[in-house]
């Protein structure tokens, strides 16, 4: 089978297509013939050697795949050969076949195609659990969503609406991206690249601030977002896209009983009851039209390096997908 891997850390050019033996599933393992692969910022962080956990070399990136069950191990009971499925995995997705544990495999509803299904696991589960599990968003509360036109952002805006947030404030860097966030359900949109954007948030909330904030930029944006929190507000950190790490005095949290919470999706994956229930819920939202998926582009697997360049240029909208 063909796979895309890297043997050294670096830019997109380190991604190379190679031939490997097709794995044979045993026990509770399932072999999936891959039809669609989701591309994520985590893949680029892995490639650069900057991921949250170490990335061993050589490494095949790719954490979400959709396809058809090709073979099953002798102990598999939950899926069968020929079934259309989607799976969230730790690595190995940039390939024609993947060998995964059956507990990470979810059947795809008949109404959804492979590309729709693969757009959900990483960004959908992230948006869901950042808001609900970690942010503890309650009905009527105000939420601030940065990068609202991105993969997690577009889904977080819609899920906040589904979860009955009182007000959704979305930030994005361009007029077009802010229009998209508005279209998806944001009540207010703000250009976070402008000086004084924090004051706009506070003005919109009549000085109170927001109850939940989603933050993935780091640097000054982190500190300004912290200033936007209402008493008992929760700031959920799920990335450092700017590459700028920051320091914070914990005493700063005390005056308004604030919380800063970290989110790392693989920890959710290790709780199968959380993972399976929430992914099935997300698939149902898409199936019933409550959740709209934005597909930004579909590319052949051999163009993985170019797709990484596009993703890191920050000029793309929606989910980028590779197909073997």
Please write the tens of the pLDDT for every residue from 275-316.
889 998 999 999 999 999 988 899 999 999 999 999 988 777
Query: How far lies 20's CA from each of 79, 92, 134, 286, 296, in Å?
Result: 25, 12, 39, 35, 29
Q: Where do the domains of the chain lie, and which CATH numbers do they carry?
A: 2-121+284-322 (3.90.180.10), 135-262 (3.40.50.720)
What is the model's pLDDT at position 150?
84
Closest by alpha carbon to 29, among 84, 112, 89, 94?
Answer: 89
User: d(Cα 79, Cα 69) in Å, to the nearest integer?
Assistant: 8
Average pLDDT score over the chain = 94
Query: Is 239 a residue whose pLDDT tops 80?
Result: yes
pLDDT of residue 319: 87
Whole-number pLDDT of residue 17: 98
CA distance 318 to 175: 16
In this prediction, residues 249-264 reach a mean pLDDT of 96
- Tell me the HSE value of 297 on the side-chain side, using a 13 A CA sphere: 16
Q: pLDDT by residue (tens digit) across 90-107?
A: 999 999 999 999 988 999
């Amino acid at each position: 089978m063909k796979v895309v891997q890297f043997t050294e850390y670096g830019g997109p050019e380190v991604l190379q297509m190679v031939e490997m033996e097709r794995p044979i599933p045993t026990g509770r393992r399932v072999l999936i013939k891959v039809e669609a692969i989701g591309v994520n910022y985590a893949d680029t962080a892995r490639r650069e050697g900057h991921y949250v956990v170490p990335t061993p070399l050589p490494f095949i990136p790719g954490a979400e795949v959709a396809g058809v069950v090709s073979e099953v191990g002798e102990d598999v009971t939950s899926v069968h050969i020929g079934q259309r499925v989607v799976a969230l995995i730790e690595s190995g997705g940039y390939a024609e076949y993947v060998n995964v544990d059956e507990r990470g495999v979810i059947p795809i509803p008949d109404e959804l195609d492979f590309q729709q299904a693969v757009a959900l696991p990483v960004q959908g589960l992230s948006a869901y659990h950042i808001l609900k599990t970690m942010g503890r968003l309650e009905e009527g509360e105000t939420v601030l969503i940065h990068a609202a036109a991105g993969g997690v952002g577009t889904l977080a805006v819609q899920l906040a609406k589904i979860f009955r947030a009182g007000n959704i404030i979305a930030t994005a860097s361009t007029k077009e991206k802010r229009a998209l966030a508005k279209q998806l359900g944001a009540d207010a949109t703000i250009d976070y690249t402008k000086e004084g954007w924090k004051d706009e948030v506070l003005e919109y909330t009549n000085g109170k601030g927001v109850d939940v904030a989603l933050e993935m930029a780091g640097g000054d944006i982190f500190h300004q977002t912290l200033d936007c929190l209402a008493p008992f507000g929760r700031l959920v950190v799920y990335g450092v896209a700017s590459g700028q790490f920051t320091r914070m005095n914990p005493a700063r949290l005390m005056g308004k009983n604030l919380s800063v919470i970290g989110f790392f999706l693989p920890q959710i994956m290790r709780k199968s009851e959380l993972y399976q229930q929430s992914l099935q819920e997300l698939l149902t939202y898409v199936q019933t039209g409550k959740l709209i998926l934005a597909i930004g582009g579909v590319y052949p697997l051999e163009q993985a390096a170019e797709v990484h360049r596009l993703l890191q240029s920050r000029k793309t909208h929606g989910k980028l997908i590779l197909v073997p």
